[in-house]
Structure 1
Amino acid sequence: MTLPGAFLSLLIAVVGALLVGPLLDTGPRAVIDQALFSAVLIAAVVSVRRQRGQLIAAAAGALVAVGLGWAALVTGDDTIVLAWLLLTVLFLGFVIVSLLGVVFRTRRVVTDTVLGAICIYFLIGYAWGHGFAIIELRRPASFGGLDEAVEPGRLHALIYYSLGTLTTLSAGDIVPLTPPVRTLSVIEAATGQLYLTVLIARLVGLQIAESSER
């Protein structure tokens, strides 16, 4: 089970981090961005099913990821940045799998089911965005049109590219230049389409089954 309103809190945190960061052209943008992303990680912990093992693993992962993120922001050390990115991808992957279990095991379509499904979609984009950041950090110039350094609080361009790829609505202003990035971009685009197809089929099936039982 999840806490009441947990999916709504996570969705607000995710959308808030996406919307607020790009509006901050001056001032401590990186600090605010990192604070918003830390809120996403904390909200993700709350949304995970309340089984003791899952909750402990999620809380530990989020705590270390948040700590590494702030350490990377302060020091700018590439090793710490890489560790932060790797752990964040693993943590988001764990949360996504946990939430998939909640959404696809439900027997009734309720508001929380829909909110959870939307959260998963955004988190997939976040996870791939951080994955792309790992590649860009290790192999600079893997993307064309990227004007931000790979560091905490400055990943909006890659998350923007990731969500554009996931939804297959990319504007084309950021382009993959190396074979690994191109391959991963194709896989992400396919993942987004398959997820939506399976999700819609599942929710429609549940709705039909529920209607036939009335």
Structure 2
Amino acid sequence: MAKTQDASSSWPPSVGALKDSLRRHPSGWLLAVQLLTVVVNPLMENTAAGRAVFGVFGIVVLALALWVINRSQAVNWIAWLLAVPSVALSLAANVGGQSQLVPVAHLLESALYFYTAGALTAYMLGDARVTFDELLAAGATFTLLAWAFAFAFSVCQSWYPGSFTAALNTESPRTWMELLFLSFSLLSATGLSDIVPVTAPARALSMLEMFAGVMYIAVVVSRLIALATLRVSRKP
């Protein structure tokens, strides 16, 4: 038993340990990759090579999302139906330079992220226990919703030019990082900051995200907190 504990605490972790961690906590890996994308995206956004790397990050996130869905009770074929063309279009847009495919790729990615967020929400609400993996799933679901709405904003901006304005470069299309920042701001109810939806479709999407953020806190997060508090209070 001591040897097993020493092996599990060694650094760097073995391939077997990483596989075991991925098997037990796919939501945690999904959350970690998405947060890493937030950190590195500002370094990659302004170059063609950087956008290609960002596309690879997106494919990794999609793969982890599929793995999460595979572990849940969701219908797998729906996820694959969204993911396969999304990956193909994303590669063609980011690596092949066919930028006209970006709106369609983002539309499919948005749908897949919404579907994955729904699968994780059903997983968290499926029993009266709070596990460590469910806490990781709570964070992953929040980021999935933020990404899903950011992709929806990107599609809206492509279909309705001028949907969003900001304090700087008011007439220019908003970058992906700006749209993701707006999405996080709305979902967390911290405000719009300097990015504002100005067309009716953009404002409709913004209102839906505000509603989703409030309901996520009210239903999912509050339930997890209540169950965790109840479990602690029942301990002898």
Distance in 2 separating the partners of 1:26 and 1:61 = 28
Contact preservation (8 Å) 2:107, 2:155: yes
Aligned to 2:31: 11
Q: 129, 136, 139: which is aligned to 2:157?
A: 136
Q: Give me the identity figure in percent.
A: 25
Post-superposition Cα deviations, 1:140-182, rounded to whole Å, max 9, x if no partner, equal 11111286757xxx62221111111111224622111112212
Shift of 1:31: 0.6
Q: 100, 103, 108: which is aligned to 2:124?
A: 103
Q: 1:199 to 1:60 in 2, by over 3 A?
A: same
Q: 122, 133, 144: which is aligned to 1:112?
A: 133
Post-superposition Cα deviations, 1:14-69, rounded to whole Å, max 9, x if no partner, equal 11111111123556111111111111111111112436873343244322211111
Aligned to 2:206: 185
Q: 55, 58, 61: which is aligned to 1:37?
A: 58
Of residues 135-144 and 80-89 in structure 1, the stretch that sits farther from structure 2 once superposed is 80-89
Q: 1:96 to 1:52 in 2, by over 3 A?
A: closer
The residue type equivalent to 1:119 in the other structure is: A
Q: 184, 193, 205: which is aligned to 1:163?
A: 184
Give the aligned CA root-mean-square deviation in angstroms: 2.5
Shift of 1:207: 2.6
Distance in 1 separating the partners of 2:74 and 2:187 = 31
- Tell me the secondary structure at the aligned position of residue 190 of structure 2: coil
Is there any run of 5+ residues in structure 2 with no aligned partner, and where? Answer: 1-21
TM-score by length of 2: 0.78
Distance in 1 separating the partners of 2:56 and 2:145 = 20
Q: 76, 90, 94: which is aligned to 2:98?
A: 76
- Tell me the secondary structure at the aligned position of residue 107 of structure 1: coil
Give the greater-gyration-radius structure (CA): 2
- Tell me the secondary structure at the aligned position of residue 129 of structure 2: coil
Distance in 1 separating the partners of 2:221 and 2:105 = 34
Contact preservation (8 Å) 1:21, 1:32: no
- Tell me the secondary structure at the aligned position of residue 28 of structure 1: helix
Is there any run of 5+ residues in structure 1 with no aligned partner, and where? Answer: none
